[in-house]
Chains A and B, each alone.
Chain A
Amino acid sequence: MSFVAKSAIKSQRVLLALLFMATTTTSCVKGVKNPANTAGTSLKEVIAPATFNWQSVTVITIKVTPMPPTSNRAMALEIRSDEGALLFVQQLTMHQALEQQISVPAGTTMVQMSYGNIKKSIDVVNGIANIDYTLPIPTQYQ
């Protein structure tokens, strides 16, 4: 085998080794970044998004759509977690609008509202819980 041929084989081996190293290195990075494949990953290897605040509490906005004016009597609007914890309470009439930030556990997708006998489950969508007082017409008055 000529010197040139030997050199070529040597170069190919170096390239293959570099390719292997590049592949394994890339795999490591993918392992950290892919949430489905993080078992055994040290926190020290993690690259978190710059905006992440490492809190499992967050703030959502509740938006109350008011009814047309009727009585001026105010009642307590209560917002509770699914577990029943009182997250927010405020005295207001049904014709008062309200937009308010409240603190909830991160990942909260639903809250429970009550206002007198009006009780509803409210979805939290994009950090907003839209609340209104509308109920279906009672059966006897349909």
Chain B
Amino acid sequence: MKKIIFQFIAIMAVVQLQAQTMSQNFNSGNRTLESNLCWYSPGCTFVNGGSELIEGTFTLRTGQLTGGISNPNGLITPWSKLTGNDTLTFKHKLTIANGTTRTFYVFIESADNRRVLDTLFTYNYVIGSATTLRSEKVAIPANTAGKVYRLHLMAIGIGGNSRMLLDDVRYKGEYWSSPSTGCTPLATIADADSDGVADAEDSFANDATRAFATVYPTSENGTLLFEDLWPSKGDYDFNDLVLNYRITTVTNASNQVVETKYTFITKAIGGALRNGFAFQLDDISAQKVIKVTRSKNAGSLYTLTANGTEANQTFANIPVISDASLLMPSAGGTGVNVSKLVSYVAPDTTTITVTFLENGQPALGQTAITTANINSNNFNPYLIVNQSRNKEIHGANKKPSNLAATNFFATQDDDSNAATNRFYKTKNNLPWALNVAADIIYTQEGVEISTGYLKLVNWAISGGTNFTDWYMDKPGYRANNNLYIR
């Protein structure tokens, strides 16, 4: 018995869904909005007062019906999947009793044959009594059931200047228009992996666990530039370690982050120190990470946990390089790729994938990360000075990891103050790291970066407001002789 009742409820639910009412009462008062929802009203306005109001707060009013068949005015409904054996109801009248002829038509247009309008209803107004409100019930043929149509409720007239008023349009059907594609009938969407994302929009059309991939910072790589003498000021050539970076974030149909892929290209080492490099995902717990996949081992500088993040860290810390000088041995003298007098060394690429969802599931006991949880604010790259794991150099005001020794803060030129979340800045707010949203050329060894990029100081003094494009190759922006251009 219970089973029968359940089946009855299920059937009724389906019937109810299919019997959705399509209605238009014009009470939004916004013709543009209704047009965007695929309720078109050519030649008409929405009026909201006086004797022209049929009911509610707004009524549709056509233009003066004088142009005959070439100038129909009225309402075109959205495409909808009809139920058949239904009635279309509406109310209408003329504004004043004049004109030679006035006729109200209801046409039906099939999505399968859009050039043909079949007439469902015709009413010739009796001009003398045309201002009397009429309520109509128009039968919709049974053979329309389950098919996609739209209705045209149109008034046509010759002579005079009267207009038609229309309100309270209702019929049964399922909304089947696509407002985002010019109000065409909804098309059957190809979705090979059935994840709800159309193949045309799905970057992973055959993988239900992935849907989209976005890149950061933009279509080209970003650049990280470090000074490595912290807590002392350096020479501000910002080439002690130079890396390009690119982050690709893969999400699924539910906007959950599946994985983030990091590409780091080590380009230059401008000193003698054996520096490492890692990054922290601020506010992202290390427990959220299922695994870290690397193109090469992180090296002996780090102790890793089972998921590949660094041990003893609250937030996920991802070791990248233990000793950059081992990846790019110097071709002579001190440093790599900072002097034109020394042979060029090919950059080294390290790729890392941080997985947050596997087979659609987050790490055990964890909730999924969404795109709302992760953006550039979370990306906290840092240099590790000369194999001293506890000596980290982060970007200005970026937090140190758990492993950073705090005894360097507020010593020498550093003016950090953990109590006020002020980190890695001098008294004059100068940094030890730059993060640029483009692949830029760095300066030669010992050449201050501001002599290569002539608008950098303007940018800094303005707090990043002016010359946001300081790194671009525009007239007056760069002194190429100070840059490391091979």
Chain B: residues with Cβ within 8 Å of the partner, total of 83
Contact of B216 among A103, A115, A136, A142 (CB under 8 A): A103
A46 CB, nearest partner CB in chain B, Å: 5
Report the Cα distance A121→B285, complex, angstroms.
Answer: 36
User: Given A137-B32, A142-B43, 9 more contacts at CB 8 Å?
Assistant: A38-B461, A52-B464, A54-B396, A55-B376, A55-B436, A70-B37, A71-B179, A91-B212, A94-B180
**Smallest distance from the beta carbon of A122 to chain B beta carbons, Å?**
16
Chain B, residue nearest A39 (CB): B454
| Among listed B116-124, B340-348, B356-364, B426-434, interface-contacting one | B426-434
Please determine whether A52 and B197 come into contact, CB atoms closer than 8 angstroms.
no
Contact in complex: B37, A67 (CB < 8 Å): yes
- The listed residue (A54, A88, A137) touching B371 by CB distance below 8 A is A88
- Minimum CB–CB distance for B431 against chain A, Å: 4
Contacts of A28 in B (CB 8 A): none
**Does B181 make an interface contact (CB < 8 A)?**
yes
Given contacts A46-B430, A89-B214, contact A103 B460 (CB under 8 A): no
Report A125-139 residues with CB < 8 Å from chain B CB.
133-138
Contacts of A70 in B (CB 8 A): 37-38, 78, 175, 177, 179
CA distance A54 to B468 in the complex (A): 11
Q: 7 closest pairs, A vs B, by CB?
A: A107-B468, A116-B180, A103-B376, A85-B219, A49-B463, A141-B40, A105-B437
Task: Answer yes or no: B222 CB below 8 A from chain A CBs.
Answer: yes
* A87 lies within 8 A of chain B by Cβ: yes
**Whole-angstrom distance between the alpha carbons of A130 and B41 in the complex?**
28
A32 to B353, CA, bound (A): 43
Contacts of A39 in B (CB 8 A): 454
In the bound complex, CA of A33 to CA of B198 (Å): 54
Whether a CB of chain B sits under 8 angstroms from the CB of A56 is yes
Q: In the complex, are the beta carbons of B438 and A105 less than 8 A apart?
A: yes
B interface: dominant SS: loop
* B450 (CB) vs chain A CBs: closest residue: A43
Give A117 to B468 CA distance when docked, in angstroms: 32
Q: Which A residue's beta carbon lies closest to that of B197?
A: A91
Interface flags, B30-43, vs A, CB<8A=1, else 0: 01110111101111
Most chain B CB within a 10 A radius of its CB, from A51, A54, A118, A140? A54
Q: Which residue of A lies closest to B237 (CB)?
A: A43
* A18 CB within 8 Å of chain B: no
Say yes or no: B448 contacts A50, CB within 8 Å. Answer: no
- The reply to whether the CB of B449 lies closer than 8 angstroms to some CB of chain A is yes
Contact B35 A141 (CB under 8 A): yes
B213 CB to closest chain A CB (Å) equals: 8
Known: A89-B212, A117-B182. A75 touches B371 (CB 8 A): no
Q: How far is the CA of A111 from the CA of B436 in the complex (A)?
A: 19
For A48, list chain B residues within 8 Å (CB): 428-430, 460-461, 463
* Residue A57 is within 8 A (CB to CB) of chain B in the complex: yes
Shortest CB-to-CB span from B123 to chain A, Å, is 23
B150-184: contact bitstring with A at CB < 8 Å (1 yes, 0 no)?
Answer: 00000000000000000000000001111111100
Q: Evaluate contact between A67 and B233: CB separation under 8 angstroms.
A: no
A residues lining the B interface (CB < 8 Å)? 32-36, 38-39, 41-44, 46-59, 67-68, 70-71, 73-76, 81, 83-91, 94, 100-107, 115-118, 133-138, 140-142
Tell me, in angstroms, the Cα distance from A19 to B207 when the chains sit together: 75
* Residues of B close to A51: CB separation below 8 A: 463
The reply to whether A56 and B436 form a contact with Cβ atoms under 8 Å apart is yes
Rounded to whole angstroms, the CA-CA distance of A105 and B222 in the bound complex is: 10
Instruction: Say which residue of B179, B372, B469 sits within 8 Å of A133 (CB atoms).
Output: B179
Task: Kindly provide the distance from the CB of A138 to the nearest chain B CB, expressed in whole angstroms.
Answer: 7
Given known pairs A48-B463, A67-B36, the reply for A57 and B376 (CB within 8 Å) is yes
Residues of B274-320 contacting chain A, CB below 8 A:
none
Please determine whether B457 and A46 come into contact, CB atoms closer than 8 angstroms. yes
Contact of A71 among B176, B214, B371, B456 (CB under 8 A): B176
Q: Are B42 and A141 in contact (CB under 8 A)?
A: yes
User: Which of A34, A49, A101, A116 lies in contact with B429, CB distance below 8 A?
Assistant: A49
Q: Which residue of B lies closest to A73 (CB)?
A: B186
Q: Answer whether residue B377 sits at the interface, using C-beta atoms and an 8 A cutoff.
A: yes
Chain B residues contacting A71 (CB-CB under 8 Å) are 175-179, 186
Is the Cβ of A81 less than 8 Å from the Cβ of B175?
Answer: no
B255 within 8 A of A: yes
Cβ–Cβ < 8 Å partners of A34 in chain B:
461
Of all chain A residues, the one with the shortest Cβ separation from B471 is: A56
Contact A41 B180, CB 8 Å, known A105-B438, A106-B437: no
A32 to chain B, nearest CB (A): 7
Question: CB-CB < 8 A to B255: which residues of A?
Answer: 90-91
Which chain A positions have C-beta within 8 A of B468? 56, 105-107
Collect the chain A residues with CB atoms within 8 Å of residue B430's CB. Answer: 43-44, 46, 48
Contacting pair B216 A116 (CB below 8 A):
no
Measured CB to CB, the closest approach of chain A to B478, in angstroms, equals 13
